[in-house]
């Protein structure tokens, strides 16, 4: 069975790399994430270069471009500044697709009621965040991840920090949710 660990976050301002689970924990199911347009696969990251399952996903979804980024203080220039930038609440005009090849990280997304959901990512996890969803990214306490970034066509790196409600893609995203976000 395909599974992912996700939960509603607490309101703590504590270090962003901590889990921030509520007490008691309030898990979020894969089905709930899919209603927000977030999709997930568990793959074998040890064979990512030749994996037929990854190749089929890429073909079916049109992911024609990819690269690999290693996020660690020894490999990423301006490491702390980049982590702060990744953690700014933003959206993209295209889907964000990430495949964790090693290490761990978190993606946080906003639900219909504007609550944060934290998605725990580890080796083998592939996730797509829909264009127009408010989200952010951070590492865990391990301070390391290696990820494949996938794109439809040429990569677009532009993030639009919140508020960005004026974008047509944001409006389309909200309209696609039953009940809307606020």
Rounded to whole angstroms, the Cα distance separating 128 from 61 reads 11
72 is in an annotated binding site: no
For 33, the enclosing helix (H) or strand (E) is: helix 30-35
20 is in an annotated binding site: no
Rounded to whole angstroms, the Cα distance separating 169 from 174 reads 9
Rounded to whole angstroms, the Cα distance separating 49 from 63 reads 14
Instruction: Retrieve residue 29's tokens.
Output: 């199911």
175 is in an annotated binding site: no
Residue ranges for the known binding site for Fe(2+) are: 90, 92, 96, 135
Residue ranges for the known binding site for Ni(2+) are: 90, 92, 96, 135
Residue ranges for the known binding site are: 90, 92, 96, 135
């Amino acid at each position: 069975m395909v599974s992912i660990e996700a939960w509603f976050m607490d309101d703590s301002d504590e270090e962003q790399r901590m889990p921030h689970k509520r007490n008691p924990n309030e898990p979020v199911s894969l089905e709930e994430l899919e209603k927000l347009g977030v999709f997930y696969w568990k793959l074998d990251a040890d064979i990512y270069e030749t994996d037929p399952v990854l190749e089929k996903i890429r073909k079916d979804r049109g992911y024609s471009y990819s690269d690999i980024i290693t996020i660690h203080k020894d490999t990423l220039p301006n490491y702390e500044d980049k982590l702060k930038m990744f953690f700014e609440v933003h959206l993209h005009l295209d889907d964000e697709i990430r495949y964790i090849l090693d290490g761990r990280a978190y993606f946080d997304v906003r639900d219909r009621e504007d609550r944060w959901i934290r998605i725990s990512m580890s080796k083998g996890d592939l996730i797509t965040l829909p264009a127009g969803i408010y989200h952010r990214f951070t590492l865990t306490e391990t301070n390391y991840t290696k990820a494949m970034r996938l794109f439809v066509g040429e990569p677009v790196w532009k993030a639009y920090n919140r508020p960005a409600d004026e974008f047509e893609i944001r409006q389309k995203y909200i309209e696609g949710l039953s009940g809307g976000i606020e």
